[in-house]
Amino acid sequence: MSTLLDYAKQTLTAEAKHPKFKAGDTVTVSYKIKEGDKERVQQYTGVVIQRKNEKATASFTVRKMSNGVGVERIFPVASPFIEKIEVNKVGIVRRAKLFYLRERTGKSARIREKLQNNAEA
């Protein structure tokens, strides 16, 4: 029975082509918002504090500081409203869920960044 459900989930859900990211990465999510008959794209930049589930039910939580107040937003990965996801920084963390960032602000909330070698020179 469960294999039949897994097969149905695989065939009915479209895979979104987003880059790979994990907890600790700083991402920019371009999200479509409908207001009446108008549609616009809003960008939400913050640190991914968790990834949940997999395949069709996968979601991720992004946290940012807005005017000194921590704001978290949960995005379903398979949402048709997500236009694109950009990975700005790759963070070095040892945990899969970064809920300890909720109690921290400023310098103590920083995450070490993985340096990338750019061979542009």
Tokens at 60, concatenated: 């991720």
- Round to whole Å and give the CA distance between 47 and 44: 10
Provide the pLDDT confidence category of residue 114 given band limits of 50, 70 and 90: confident
pLDDT for 35-61, tens place per residue? 899 999 999 999 999 999 887 788 999
Average pLDDT of the chain to the nearest whole number: 86
Is 12 a residue whose pLDDT tops 80? no
Across residues 84-111, what is the average pLDDT? Answer: 90
Provide the pLDDT confidence category of residue 30 given band limits of 50, 70 and 90: very high
Going from the N-terminus, what domains does the chain have, and what CATH number goes with each?
18-101 (2.30.30.790)
Of all residues in the chain, what percent carry a pLDDT higher than 70? 90
- Round to whole Å and give the CA distance between 99 and 104: 10
